[in-house]
Amino acid sequence: MTETRTMHGLNSLVFDNSFTRLLPGDRETVNSRRQVHQACYSRVRPTAVARPQLLAWSREVADLLDLDFDPFASNEAAEVFSGNRQLPGMDPFAMCYGGHQFGNWAGQLGDGRAINLGEVINRRGQRWMLQLKGAGATPYSRTADGLAVLRSSVREFLCSEAMFHLGVPTTRALSLVSTGEKVIRDMFYDGNAQYEPGAIVCRVAPSFTRFGNFQIFASRRDEDNLKRLVEYTIRTDFPHLGEPTQDVMNQWFAEVCRTTADLMIHWMRVGFVHGVMNTDNMSILGLTIDYGPYGWLENFDPNWTPNTTDASGRRYRFGQQAQVALWNLAQLGNALVPVFESTEPLQEALDLYSARFNSGSHEMLMQKLGLSAGDEQLDRQLISDLLEVLQLAETDMTIFFRRLADISCEKESQSVAIGHDDALSRLLTDACYVPEQLTESVVQQIVGWIRRYQERVQQQSISDTDRRDRMNRVNPKYVLRNYLAQLAIDKAEQGDPSMIMELLEVLRHPYDEQPDQEHLAAKRPEWARHRAGCSMLSCSS
């Protein structure tokens, strides 16, 4: 593809489809639920829908695909990204993969409600897979219908793009289309199923390959296809490593471990909790993938999980995400043993993950505090004590760090005492959910930590202006709080999708002060504490 290719509409998309061209496919052509062996995918067409309507569109993702047209001017985009119309060059398929779910091997899983349309090559030579989530049943749907509802689709569309603008590696979302049809769902698994509006998201990523794609072949002792998939993945998704020799394979697994560690650091930085970190939800490219029962850490609680299915075990709680990622990498490593000459490089890569996460998370927290490297022992103690202070009362993590940046650390203006420091008063008022928890003892402990923090800043001779700029580049002001997404869902279900694009516009600039949007940076309102969709969520969608 040349750099001079102009940008136009959907018919200009150039498809390459190396996944279906170079890897083994399902020999059975009937779209029936079944076990699929010796295949990376099954060809399957999306299920036609009644009245597709485009609700939301990401111009940034459209730019990645060299698309330059008004998608709302006609129904063309809605027809294509609902699956009703297939463009020339598309080769729709669903992937076959397995996975560990909540720590237990689940066998074959696969794309049960996702259908890949094909791989687009843009004018810069980049490869982008287009995938419809909620486009109908596939051989991997098991007992499900392969569809998605509007509420989960709004959340997926918005969070995919919000994470990108936060600087977190992620799959992307091009479009959100309502289907004009109803889908039955039991949101709470309590026997009260209801009909809900259906919708489809077009997800975009260089690759949707997961740890589970490799695990399924290993579990079936299909070493030939396991090796084929490894070699294809290296050539296609990691071409900078070179041809897949044994040494390159070692480098590849090490890179997967590094990018996964970096992803966990980003999640912890912005307070994101994935909620369902099964191995089939782990991207080989170190991307956030599969936005289901996710949540944003509002009250700083390392034990919080947004997933109702995980409420008792809390396996995927905020504070354990890094350990779960390492466990998942170990399962991937176990699956790769048959195609590696030695297990030593696999173990070295896992050790690399731990070292990278430990050093990277410390560096990340230093950045959140606006500090430069110095006395590491002193800094680690300061950070450790902060994580304890944040749990003395229900404290909003996002707001706390933004308000901390406003507290002066310069000697001539320093006055840390409640009632005398407006910035401290704003921090306590804006970031704390339950005022009654701010007892005299709690306030004294918070003030005590802030005094130590000020002294540390003074030792590094950092001006308030420089520190505030540093902190506000890594501590977002705007995140996709669950209650905000729910408000957009409520309006969309009533026929008004406008809030989806309004939220997207604010989330495009999560680190900026946006005076007209201050209400979207406020802590979660009390009415949303226990409302469905505003706190914890189920896997049902």
Instruction: Find, among 265, 235, 234, 262, the residue nearest to 250 by Cα.
Output: 234
Whether residue 406 lies in the annotated active site: no
CA dist., res. 460 & res. 454, Å (int): 10
Q: Are 300 and 433 in contact (CB under 8 A)?
A: no
Cα 83 to Cα 321, 340, 382, 476, 492, distances in angstroms: 35, 40, 53, 36, 21
Q: Tokens standing for 157? A: 């569309």
Instruction: Find the Cα–Cα–Cα–Cα dihedral 3, 8, 69, 479, rounded to 10°.
Output: -40
CA dist., res. 201 & res. 81, Å (int): 8
Instruction: Find the Cα–Cα–Cα–Cα dihedral 383, 385, 391, 392, rounded to 10°.
Output: -150
Residue 335: exposed, middle, or buried by beta-carbon count in 10 A (0-12, 13-18, 19+)? buried
Q: Are 199 and 516 in contact (CB under 8 A)?
A: no
Amino acid at 186: D
Cα 201 to the center of its chain, rounded Å: 15
Q: Tokens standing for 371? A: 């500090």
Q: Tokens standing for 107? A: 């066998």
CA dist., res. 47 & res. 33, Å (int): 15
Cβ within 8 Å of residue 270, ≥6 positions away: 166, 168, 296, 398, 476, 479
Identified catalytic residue from 26, 91, 262, 280: 280
CA dist., res. 303 & res. 237, Å (int): 35
Q: Are 161 and 296 in contact (CB under 8 A)?
A: no
* Residues across the chain: 541
CA pseudo-torsion sign 344, 348, 354, 357: negative
SS3 54: strand
HSE at residue 123, side-chain half, CA atoms within 13 A, is: 14
CA dist., res. 67 & res. 156, Å (int): 21
Q: Tokens standing for 88? A: 């020339």
Catalytic residue ranges: 280
